[in-house]
Structure 1
């Protein structure tokens, strides 16, 4: 892993062009257009409607979720327009009986009449809480459904996964996302790199993500580089100028061979096991990148070859004033190997009086998942950084968050989905969401209220109805109250500054810090309470009885 390179901040135009190319009005399901057409034919397309976006269960059997994707949704809404090419394609896929005037309607459509209230990017959220409320003409807010779900579902899922890995790893270790080669296509790879960084990872191997989003990038070498060498004759060039620039170039092969003999004696190694090709690869790479020397050392044998060759080349670099970075382990018992490697570093530092060896880093990778990370933490190890790919970006424990987008109001009248499965019923009406906190600032309950009712107040008792406990009633008195929803889009314009990846990352860290330890526990966490206000609970009961919405004949 090379020394991490802080990526220059990309221009806003470059990033937004990328986002607009990813999400256009055609990034949706065909049935959205058939419904929009039916609304239009019935002259209902301009009726005021309210949809809300939420999920029903926290992912990974966890106690929390990190909301992400708002940035992309806002860029999508601002640029929502159908091109002539879009409209002509829709003509070809909708039935020939479709009225041609509908396509003129689509060509002029935008989101200037849409209003969006949302939880901020990077906020810790919980199941059944409305994350977004989308208000506007019925046809256009219907057309937004699939696109908004696409932009929020995976972003929130992979961001939550990254936050869980960060909690499992602890605050001290560096975390490198290296999942591009295992991601679900280039878009999945870029989305993963952006939102794993927001969720708590420090670095990415994804160069394009660094270019687009300003994420620090880093990298090392593959085993193929090591195995491509077979002898020291292949080291070209084999000289290196001292770091201070004084003196003639030094042939690095001789000093490295000398150090290899001394290191082998110090560590009690058998010289016959050392791979000359591996030494050649290390020398070649060190000469190319003398200030970023961090090779993978398990192409053959860590203890009998890789570690010895690394120490020899690293000591030769130190002689010339350079400071090597460390090594990467990619197979075998990572914990045991890291302990052995650290012991060798300390012995070299003490025997050869080389202080640089005291700060060499040990990076580990090897199909690491949340469980193996937890097991790693239970064992003695000396690992400083972790490279994680497959299980991070594919979210192998759970492939989807399951966000849904449901109609809750039309023309000021509440709407509710009522079905045989109570878990799939919705909560009617336009809403506001408040987070109630205790005296220590820990959230303990999210209260979902009707938008028109008075908000809860600090120090004032409030009766509410937990969604997780049917027919139960609780009375709570918050020490602090925060409104979760913010108006972020109105009249075709974004009303608050778009958050950068770094700003959203800081929001995640702050939001997680407020949670009590029980809610952050990765295994069997405490359940967080989401509740309805008394007025909203009464409205649900009324609608269920048929008082405010159709239930069928």
Structure 2
């Protein structure tokens, strides 16, 4: 961990050592001048990683050899011998608890110890704390906008700055107030709840109902298995009559994908509605499968939208769910959760909440 530093830190450390000041007592404080995102506060995060970094602070023989190759050839050999003996055992850290609210120009971490070691720790601690605090603060701002009841899921793994950036984003989003992550490894390492739906590729991989295998599902209360595909087709006609949309416009591959997923996960069925047309295909297909599951004693757990005017479409979907619930006498149908994803910003979240 010790080489995770800027070269000038080692150059300055050599200056302190040459001047005989390397063991002078020193204190350094970490603070920020302006809050991120033009806000009024930040969350202090990355502190646990900082402490782990202190415990692992050592220059190995390979590290020292590398430093010999990059520092000027006039550097005293005894300095490299000294670096090989360094650790952070004489360093003390005072900090706010992980995830605390912190304000501009108010120190939230203080490091005390020998001047040379404190100097070498600066970049390392900034690296471990700055990004973590930025992600946690961003997550906290989303939580404040969404309110306490809306579920927030972090799912940025595929767009993250490499594996380390992805794991850090998952971890510190959770500290900042998100409820769960799509990142399996982050769930395993940090105990964050892991959630997920289905992707457009799954829906597009089906072309027709004949591809669904198996297609039979026993009622939840027990009994003989029922052909869920056939049951969904009969419900599709009834749903389309209610919505005044022709069943022929509902994509059969999408219906097959929903049926296949429902047979596989009857207690956790959720649909992705925007692979094709939401109004004429995704929505009636989902309602048909969800109502077929209901007939067998199961309850769908939600839908997801990933494109278009998310706020407006969500309003329309909620209206359809309520209409189906009232018309088919299924009270819970009107409260099916609607998840939105893709390019969610503070502005879009605020607009979504307002509408």
Do the structures match in fold with TM over 0.5? yes
Query: Which consecutive aligned stretches of 4+ in structure 1 deviate over 3 angstroms post-superposition?
Result: none
Give 2:52's aligned residue.
75
Per-residue Cα deviation, 1:73-94 (whole angstroms, up to 9, x for no partner): 1111122122222222222322
Contact map agreement 2:136 2:176 (CA 8 A) in 1: yes
Per-residue Cα deviation, 1:50-87 (whole angstroms, up to 9, x for no partner): 11111111111111111111111111112212222222
Q: In 2, distance between residues paired with 1:76 and 1:228?
A: 46
**Corresponding position: 1:149 with 2:105:** no
**Corresponding position: 1:45 with 2:22:** yes
Q: In 1, distance between residues paired with 2:225 and 2:69?
A: 69
Picking from 56, 60, 78, the partner of 1:101 is 78
Picking from 37, 43, 46, the partner of 1:60 is 37
Superposition deviation, residue 272 in structure 1? 2.1
Per-residue Cα deviation, 1:6-38 (whole angstroms, up to 9, x for no partner): xxxxxxxxxxxxxxxxxx111111111111122
Give 1:306's aligned residue.
282
Q: In 2, distance between residues paired with 1:84 and 1:294?
A: 55
Q: In 2, distance between residues paired with 1:68 and 1:183?
A: 19
Give 1:271's aligned residue.
247
Equivalent residue runs for 1:538-553 within 5 Å: none
Give 2:335's aligned residue.
359
More strand by share: 1
Q: In 2, distance between residues paired with 1:184 and 1:191?
A: 10
Moved more, 82-91 or 35-44: 82-91
SS at match of 1:168: helix
Instruction: Give the root-mean-square deviation of aligned CA atoms.
Output: 1.4
Q: In 2, distance between residues paired with 1:238 and 1:93?
A: 66
SS at match of 2:270: coil
Greater RCO, 1 or 2 (C-alpha within 8 Å, sep 6+): 1
SS at match of 1:295: strand
**Corresponding position: 1:375 with 2:319:** no
SS at match of 1:216: coil
Give 1:29's aligned residue.
6
Q: Against the structure 1 CA distance between its residues 82 and 241, is the aligned structure 2 distance closer, same or farther, given a 3 Å change threshold?
A: farther
Give 2:113's aligned residue.
136
Superposition deviation, residue 305 in structure 1? 0.6
Q: In 1, distance between residues paired with 2:197 and 2:275?
A: 14
Picking from 230, 233, 247, the partner of 2:223 is 247
Unaligned runs of 5+ in 2: none
Contact map agreement 1:318 1:356 (CA 8 A) in 2: no
Unaligned runs of 5+ in 1: 1-23, 380-553
Q: In 2, distance between residues paired with 1:48 and 1:243?
A: 70
Equivalent residue runs for 1:475-514 within 5 Å: none
**Corresponding position: 1:293 with 2:269:** yes
Q: In 2, distance between residues paired with 1:272 and 1:191?
A: 47
SS at match of 1:144: helix
Superposition deviation, residue 175 in structure 1? 0.8
Q: In 2, distance between residues paired with 1:371 and 1:349?
A: 32
Per-residue Cα deviation, 1:129-150 (whole angstroms, up to 9, x for no partner): 1122211111111000000000
Q: In 2, distance between residues paired with 1:211 and 1:359?
A: 31
Output the TM-score relative to the length of structure 1: 0.62
Q: In 1, distance between residues paired with 2:297 and 2:78?
A: 75
Give 1:417's aligned residue.
none
Superposition deviation, residue 210 in structure 1? 0.7
Contact map agreement 2:270 2:302 (CA 8 A) in 1: yes
Aligned residues: 355
**Corresponding position: 1:214 with 2:196:** no
More helix by share: 2
Superposition deviation, residue 256 in structure 1? 0.6
Moved more, 216-225 or 346-355: 346-355
Superposition deviation, residue 200 in structure 1? 1.0
Contact map agreement 1:64 1:124 (CA 8 A) in 2: yes
Give 1:202's aligned residue.
179
SS at match of 1:116: strand
Picking from 210, 213, 236, the partner of 1:236 is 213
Q: In 2, distance between residues paired with 1:241 and 1:91?
A: 71
Output the TM-score relative to the length of structure 2: 0.96
Superposition deviation, residue 290 in structure 1? 1.3
SS at match of 2:173: helix
Contact map agreement 1:324 1:356 (CA 8 A) in 2: no
Picking from 65, 68, 79, the partner of 1:91 is 68
